[in-house]
Structure 1
Amino acid sequence: MSTTESTPEVITDESAEGAPQRPWRDRKRYLWPLATVMPAMPFLGAGLSAATGWAGWWWVGPMILFVVLPALDLIFGATDDNPPESERERLEADRYYRWVTYLFLPIQYASLVFCCWVWATWDLPWHADLGLALTMGVVSGVAINTAHELGHKREDVERWLSKIALASSAYGHFYVEHNRGHHVRVATPEDPASSRLGEGFWTFLPRTVWGSLRSSWHLENKRRSKGRHTALDHEILVAWAMTVVLFVTLVAVFGWVVLPWLVLQAVVGFSLLEVVNYLEHYGLKRAKRDDGRYERTDPRHSWNADHTVSNLLLYQLQRHSDHHANPLRRYQTLRHFEESPQLPSGYGSMIVVALFPPIWRAMMDRKVLAHYDGDVTLANIHPRKRERYLTRYART
């Protein structure tokens, strides 16, 4: 691995007058590879099951995401520390951080092949096979996050790696819709990936899946209408073809028995992405300017979660406000902003809450209202709930 070296800025510790000066260092530098634990979860489940004889370990993916990760977030808490802006160029030029994301992909695909081998050749009870499918689904869902990090970059190799990471979840159109659709329309009623105040997750899910698919197709056709193109450079068709080739190859090698599990893990994977989308912009809305256009996206338009452990494992996805305000920033330089609204906990906990809409609304509606200083008219309200919310939270 090569790194670009430059002389780090000398940062003064201002907590004590006359204290010695020291160069700034990324204290999490050698913790970022912990993100590779996530794609290795099927191997972990197999090892623990073999060691203990308990088939429940095949469910290790949901266990880690929804139990272990929230517990670690509770133990280690959140951090609002930011790298100095003067260090951004040096950090983003350091290729070590890029290789941390690249390493995710070979482990992801090794896990997928391993899962197919287990489904095809091991005599597991049905609930163990189901657990393995859900575990692989978590891997594919987290892989979409890796694709998200890679897909925003200008380098061709990273963009191609992003498409490869998306193939296992059959969600290749995300590459088009997220970059050219969601980032343009985020926190507006027109964005299918921005959830609305009062909208439950199970209502949001079909709206965002269908809306994002339709939007991505429209955006890609619009791009292609501006020049001469062939089917080989249709970004959505190429991405879907990668999934077809992947699944056909796996079925050819391991048999038809693996196909239902492949489909199930893909559905779990992209559903995991969409529940994260649900968390990230719930009820938030960009105001319109006098000319009728929306104001520029800034840190007020995304929910943040500064929890240390989950940010290490998710390439700081939870510092979502800075990502939307500055989409080209790499994960190691994303910042906390005081004006960003904060989720009560990390994504692992909040995903579980989102699956139960009454609990979610009881927890989050008041936070949306507080973010807008009690003026509910500033929020992105679900149209079917608009009159109810305006009546309930009317200002007197």
Structure 2
Amino acid sequence: MCLTTWETMMSAETNPAKPPDSAAAAIEPVWRDSKRYLWLWGLFAPTGVFTIAIPLMIGLNALGWHRLAEVPFWLGPVLVYIVIPLADLFFGPDGNNPPDEVMEYLENDKYYRYLTYLYLPFQYASLIFACYIIAAPNLHWLGFEGGANVIDKIGISISVGMIGGIGINTAHELGHKKVSLERWLARIALAQTFYGHFYIEHNRGHHVRVATPEDPASARLGESFWAFLPRTVWGSLRSAWHLEAERLRRLDRGPWTLNNDVLNAWAMTVVLWLGLIAFFGPQVLPYLILQAVVGASLLESVNYLEHYGLVRNKTASGRYERPAPEHSWNSDHIVTNIFLYHLQRHSDHHAYPTRRYQTLRSWDGAPNLPSGYASMILIGYFPPIWRRIMDKRVLAHYGGDVTKANIQPAKRAKVLAQYGSEADQ
């Protein structure tokens, strides 16, 4: 798919009132973003409950296919693990970048930021609808006899958790910006999944320590996703608390205050959940916990693949070198990029954290994944398959010298024994 369309116009031809030797007679480049309206698909996930799931349930029940009518409760996993990966394979990579001349104009086009704002009301509408499905004594209007069963409740909880997980990515986009409103919207987006501390750790922790052994959000060569998950969850939480405690200490304040951005972020979740429990009843609490676990795990599965095995070298001063394109795994598959606001152009994001998603560009020299993030997330759940696909790419990235990679300490001897011999061969 072509991302840019260039036109050249001579002012002397289009505006004969100006003399041909005027400055306006110079060639003026005009660029149009052919993905401008494709970004609307980023709202498909939070609106899918209302535009896809509900009509399907009503239609299938009307046809008497009651068992099949329960499948839309599982719309989230179907979208993330089946539809998007297949679409990535079909549509393939994008590979085009906006030119330098339009970057400032594109950055200031508010259309793009309004799309991210719109994600939040649909995100919360989906959460409220899920609580209704869980608590409702009957769903006759959807064509079901009685209320939802436990399997259906688990399905809708996982689906809304995935919407919340993608919402964490929306918070990631908003939380990097300098506009106060967007930073608050980021915190609101994180409240659903009880992951408000991500706002602190990602911006002030991960972006400082990325692709180093000290970063809890950078996976190591030989480390499975299931080993990475508890390490990154606990490490990120601990780091966020430490960062806020240090900030408050410099202000001569203790950490146990609502001025602590970790505590006030969690307080937003408590207020939200208590409101939902008060309205729908205590039976929604287990499912609120489930959807939060699903959403946070989806985020961390993306973290797992973004820097797997990659490491920054230390300079002579003992400090790490600046993050460069070779320190992030990238993918330019267009469909996942649409759903994740160009998150897959990850090297550019680390180089320019405040740059808005529509202006992020692919970098030459950055290591690339074999498919989009959505496909690689699923592969990451199966460590033998993941390592068969990715370890050789890490090894190739470092020219066969596995000692240059970020290796899981507990697996170091095994990794060196395996890949050291392969490099010799």
TM-score range, shorter chain: over 0.9
SS in 1 for 2:393: helix
Once the two structures are TM-superposed, the CA of residue 148 in structure 1 deviates from its matched residue by 0.1
Q: Which residue of 1 aligns with 2:321?
A: 295
Of residues 50-59 and 293-302 in structure 1, the stretch that sits farther from structure 2 once superposed is 50-59
Any idea what the Cα deviations from partners look like across 1:246-296, whole Å, max 9, x if unmatched? 000000000011111111000000000001000100000001111111000
User: How many Å separate the matches in 1 of 2:155 and 2:89?
Assistant: 26
Indicate whether 1:47 and 2:55 are aligned: yes
Indicate whether 1:145 and 2:153 are aligned: no
Once the two structures are TM-superposed, the CA of residue 142 in structure 1 deviates from its matched residue by 0.2
SS in 2 for 1:381: coil
> How many residues are treated as equivalent by the alignment?
383
Using structure 1 for the length normalisation, give the TM-score.
0.94
Q: Which residue of 2 aligns with 1:109?
A: 124
Q: 1:25 aligns with which of 32, 47, 50?
A: 32
Indicate whether 1:181 and 2:201 are aligned: no
Amino acid at match of 1:157: L
What is the alpha-carbon root mean square deviation over aligned residues? 1.8
Q: Work out whether residues 306 and 336 of structure 1, in 8 Å CA contact, stay in contact via their aligned partners in 2.
A: yes
SS in 1 for 2:258: helix
Once the two structures are TM-superposed, the CA of residue 232 in structure 1 deviates from its matched residue by 3.0
Once the two structures are TM-superposed, the CA of residue 45 in structure 1 deviates from its matched residue by 2.0
Of residues 284-293 and 20-29 in structure 1, the stretch that sits farther from structure 2 once superposed is 20-29
Of residues 240-249 and 106-115 in structure 1, the stretch that sits farther from structure 2 once superposed is 106-115
User: How many Å separate the matches in 2 of 1:76 and 1:9?
Assistant: 19
Of residues 173-182 and 41-50 in structure 1, the stretch that sits farther from structure 2 once superposed is 41-50
Runs (4+) off by over 6 Å: 8-13
The percentage of counterpart residues that share the same residue type is 57
Judging changes above 3 Å, is the alpha-carbon distance between structure 1 residues 9 and 139 closer, same or farther for their aligned structure 2 residues? closer
Once the two structures are TM-superposed, the CA of residue 46 in structure 1 deviates from its matched residue by 2.7
User: How many Å separate the matches in 1 of 2:356 and 2:333?
Assistant: 18
Of residues 80-89 and 189-198 in structure 1, the stretch that sits farther from structure 2 once superposed is 80-89
Once the two structures are TM-superposed, the CA of residue 47 in structure 1 deviates from its matched residue by 2.5
Amino acid at match of 1:275: S
Indicate whether 1:207 and 2:227 are aligned: no
Once the two structures are TM-superposed, the CA of residue 61 in structure 1 deviates from its matched residue by 0.6
Using structure 2 for the length normalisation, give the TM-score.
0.87
Once the two structures are TM-superposed, the CA of residue 11 in structure 1 deviates from its matched residue by 6.5
Q: Please show how residues 1-396 of structure 1 align to structure 2 within 5 Å.
A: 23-43=30-50, 44-53=52-61, 54-121=69-136, 122=138, 123-228=147-252, 231-394=257-420, 395-396=423-424
Any idea what the Cα deviations from partners look like across 1:311-353, whole Å, max 9, x if unmatched? 1111111111110111111000000012111111111111110
Amino acid at match of 1:273: L
Once the two structures are TM-superposed, the CA of residue 127 in structure 1 deviates from its matched residue by 1.3
Amino acid at match of 1:77: G
Amino acid at match of 1:216: A
Once the two structures are TM-superposed, the CA of residue 21 in structure 1 deviates from its matched residue by 7.7
Judging changes above 3 Å, is the alpha-carbon distance between structure 1 residues 11 and 329 closer, same or farther for their aligned structure 2 residues? farther
SS in 2 for 1:23: strand
Higher relative contact order (CA 8 A, sep 6+): 1
Amino acid at match of 2:40: P
Gap regions ≥5 residues in structure 1: 1-7, 14-19
SS in 2 for 1:344: coil
SS in 1 for 2:298: helix
User: How many Å separate the matches in 2 of 1:374 and 1:135?
Assistant: 41
Q: Which residue of 1 aligns with 2:66?
A: none
